[in-house]
């Protein structure tokens, strides 16, 4: 009896809380977590305020750098400190809703969620004269009701592109800046916290964020990433994608997170390669430069950035496609070498390797191409042809016409060879020629 009740409760919890949160957080159902039409812009947001100790300091820094942010504020704090909310609004920043009391939505029923959203909106409207159009649920948690409620009240649900982890006990100004600057890209929505009195926040944590914020703002400017108002960023038209492309992009984000595949960034912009730290599982191979790659050695497993793939797939001829990929690869390998040299997680890798059907001319950029097992070849062929059909308008016909030419190969280059060819800055001139 007890076991049956437990299973029933677990099932109901999944339907009411876990599945809606997964749909929002991983598949971005009904929410915005970045702006695909960023056009070289990002947005900065602050949660859990206003706080008389930290919010004025945040506002001073933003005024110094002449940038606008979005503050997701709590209704009860706004009631306690209306002068801070008025200042946020007066200085041109956006005032958005973070609910009234920072309650966990999993523990609230429909009536409680409605009350949280409505009370917060009422307080904000009384102070600013404008109802909030944006809403972020506490901790980014949803239930079956909250996933739809804010839309019914005319509020767009906005999460974030990635965490800055600025509220933890182990956070430092350096770690906060590093986490943000290593992942920020065009269209990103950044999240910080200007309060430390909600559950989970370490006392004094916003002080560390305040130390990191000028560094982050300065570096964003150097990278020519403009900080734009959040609503403006969200309204920017993005590149048109088919329904299949949008569904695939959401699925891909989940896969990248689960398998810890990360973007390689060049001044905040992704290159054509993604990478993951893996153990080599193939047979022992002696590479052309004499390096021996053995089973169990650490490698950087390379994956194609599919949106970059879409950009270079501008030819119906696979030979021209390979040439475009080779040119882009040369430029990306310079960035990859520098990125690996600066990333301590990848210090001990023996080589970089990846499966690809785009291997024409790979030897010219330093890779060695090896045949793979029939089973792996069929799986890789199916996957990469599927990508071609999704991301290129002529992908299906191309696959049908040139199936015999599109044979997957395992491409490997030792780390020493990669560094020899591409690590030094003066190699860029050689590559470009």
Classify 322 as helix, strand or coil: helix
In a 3-state reduction of DSSP, which class is residue 225? coil
What is the distance between the alpha carbons of residues 358 and 208, in angstroms, rounded to a whole number? 46
Query: Nearest Cα to 385, choosing from 415, 405, 412?
Result: 405
Q: How far apart are CA 21 and CA 155, in angstroms?
A: 18
Query: Where do the H-state alpha helices sit in 263-364?
Result: 306-312, 318-342
160: phi > 0 → left, psi -120 to 50 → alpha, else beta; which?
beta
d(CA 142, CA 14): 11
Interatomic CA distance for residues 307 and 269, integer angstroms: 12
- Residue 63 corresponds to which tokens in the numbers above? 């005024």
Query: Alpha carbon of 8 to those of 14, 16, 18, 145: distances in Å?
Result: 10, 12, 14, 19
Which residues are identified as catalytic?
47, 193
Alpha-carbon Rg of the chain, whole angstroms? 24
């Amino acid at each position: 009896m007890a076991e049956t009740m437990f299973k029933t409760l677990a099932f109901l919890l999944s339907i009411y809380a876990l599945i809606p949160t997964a749909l929002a957080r991983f598949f971005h159902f009904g929410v915005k977590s970045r702006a695909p039409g960023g056009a070289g812009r990002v947005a900065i947001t602050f949660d859990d305020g206003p706080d008389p100790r930290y919010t004025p300091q945040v506002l001073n820094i933003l005024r110094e750098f002449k940038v606008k942010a979005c503050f997701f504020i709590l209704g009860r704090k706004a009631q306690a400190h209306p002068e801070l909310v008025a200042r946020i609004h007066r200085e041109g920043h956006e005032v958005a809703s973070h609910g009234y009391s920072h309650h966990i939505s999993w523990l609230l029923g429909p009536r409680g969620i409605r009350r949280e959203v409505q009370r917060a909106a009422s307080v904000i409207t009384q102070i600013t004269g404008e109802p909030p159009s944006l809403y972020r649920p506490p901790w980014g948690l949803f239930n079956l009701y909250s996933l739809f409620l804010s839309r019914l009240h005319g509020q767009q649900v906005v999460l974030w592109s990635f965490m800055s982890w600025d509220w933890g006990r182990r956070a430092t100004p350096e770690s906060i800046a590093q986490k943000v600057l290593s992942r920020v890209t065009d269209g990103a929505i950044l999240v910080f916290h200007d309060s430390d009195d909600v559950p989970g926040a370490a006392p004094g944590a916003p002080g560390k964020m305040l130390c990191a914020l000028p560094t982050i703002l300065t570096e964003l400017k150097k990278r020519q990433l403009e900080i734009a108002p959040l609503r403006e960023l969200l309204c920017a038209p993005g590149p048109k994608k088919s329904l299949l492309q949008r569904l695939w992009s959401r699925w891909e984000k989940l896969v990248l997170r689960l398998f810890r595949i990360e973007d390689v960034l060049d001044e905040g912009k992704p290159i054509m390669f993604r990478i993951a730290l893996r153990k080599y599982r193939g047979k022992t191979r002696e590479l052309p430069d004499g390096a021996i790659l053995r089973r169990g050695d650490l490698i950087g497993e390379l994956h194609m950035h599919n949106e970059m793939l879409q950009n270079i797939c501008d030819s119906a001829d696979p030979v021209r496609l390979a040439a475009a990929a080779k040119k882009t690869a040369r430029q990306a390998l310079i960035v990859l070498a520098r990125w690996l040299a600066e990333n301590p997680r990848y210090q001990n890798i023996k080589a970089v390797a990846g499966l690809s059907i785009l291997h024409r001319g790979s030897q010219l950029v330093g890779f060695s191409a090896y045949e793979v097992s029939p089973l792996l070849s069929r799986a890789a062929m199916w996957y990469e042809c599927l990508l071609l059909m999704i991301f290129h308008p002529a992908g299906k016909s191309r696959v049908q016409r040139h199936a015999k030419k599109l044979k997957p190969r395992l491409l490997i280059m030792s780390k020493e060879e990669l560094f020899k060819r591409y690590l030094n800055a003066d190699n860029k001139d050689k590559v470009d020629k």
